[in-house]
Amino acid sequence: MSQLKIAIQKSGRLSEKSLALISEAGIVLNNSDRRLIARSSNFPIEILFLRDDDIPQYVADGVADIGIVGENVILEKNSPVRTVKKLGFAGCRLSLAIAKSIDYKGISHFNGKKIATSYPKILQKYLTDNNITAEIHEISGSVEIAPGIGLADSIFDIVSSGSTLISNGLKEVEVVMKSEAVIISDIKLSAEKQQILDKLLFRISSVQTAKKHKYVVLNAPSSQVSRIVEIIPGMKSPTVVPLAKEGWVSIHSVLKEDEFWEIIDKLQECGAEGIMVMPVEKMIV
């Protein structure tokens, strides 16, 4: 029986969420203390713990079959891998930033400038596409301090909340790309491994769908059932159960997290009471 080898970040911003995803998919790891390899007793999977920068190459070479990594790293490494699923975490952007005191007039500002970055390939392509000639200074960490110590005029780096830029006296002036964590796959997976991957992706999708929904239970006067059913149509149709109290029913349904507050207001307008909202763990539609 084949094992699907999945490469995840050993320690860093992607690690916890990658492991949580595997656990939410019902996969139990025997030794998840992140030595080098962990195996599972209930799913044909093997986890390799690596530096995120190495993940695209390991997957392209077939040492790992799939991996979890940021889109920024995939683009920078330019390895021939297939992106199979966006995971919705580790969201960030790669941006150009300059000293906040500078009056920025547009991209031509960067002509003849020295830009510090850990992402030289993505930056060079962006500059070339925009007909800008600048000097790229590659550094591996603490890019944001480069202008302050006179190493560069500006930086090209990952921005998330923007607070690192602010605390270094910088401002974001161009967003070059947006990134999030994704699952990548070897482009030449065997049929057997593809089957395991499909199974894993199905489980992940069920968890992702569930996270976007809430289970709601409420009491309402029987006369309001048709109005309430219109507001919370559920997966097929809500469950309506009579209460012991004459003229009242209990309604059970599922609603979308992002429509939650608006829907609750409408339900109350229909006389709904005792509204209980619960998380959904898995959802197969």
Residues making contact with Zn ion (CB under 5 A): 52-53
Find the part of the chain contacting ligand PRT (CB under 6 A) among 8-16, 21-29, 207-215, 275-283. 8-16
What is the chain's length?
285
Contact pattern for ligand PRT over residues 172 through 191, marking x by CB under 6 A: -------x------------
d(CA 215, CA 150): 56
CB nearer to ligand PRT: give 14 or 116.
Answer: 14
By CB under 6 A, tell whether 157 contacts ligand PRT: yes
By CB under 6 A, tell whether 12 contacts ligand PRT: yes
By CB under 6 A, tell whether 117 contacts ligand PRT: no
CB nearer to ligand PRT: give 65 or 144.
Answer: 144
| CB neighbour list of residue 79: distance below 8 Å, 6 or more residues apart | 56, 57, 59, 60
> Residue 121 is inside which H or E element, if any?
helix 120-129
CB nearer to Zn ion: give 91 or 271.
Answer: 91
Which among ligand PRT, Zn ion, none contacts residue 234 (Cβ within 5 to 8 A by kind)? none
E strand spans, the chain: 4-9, 37-39, 45-50, 66-70, 81-86, 92-99, 114-117, 135-138, 154-159, 170-179, 181-186, 213-221, 239-242, 248-256, 273-279
Residues 72, 95, 154, 206: which binds ligand PRT (CB under 6 A)?
72
Residues 41, 101, 131, 163: which binds ligand PRT (CB under 6 A)?
163
Min dist CB 125 to ligand PRT, Å, is: 17
Q: Output phi, psi for 180, to 5 deg.
A: -150, 170
DSSP string, 142-177: -GGGTTTTTS-SEEEEEESSSHHHHHTTEEEEEEEE
Write out the residues near ligand PRT by the rule CB under 6 A: 9, 12-14, 51-53, 70, 72-73, 90, 92, 144, 157-164, 179
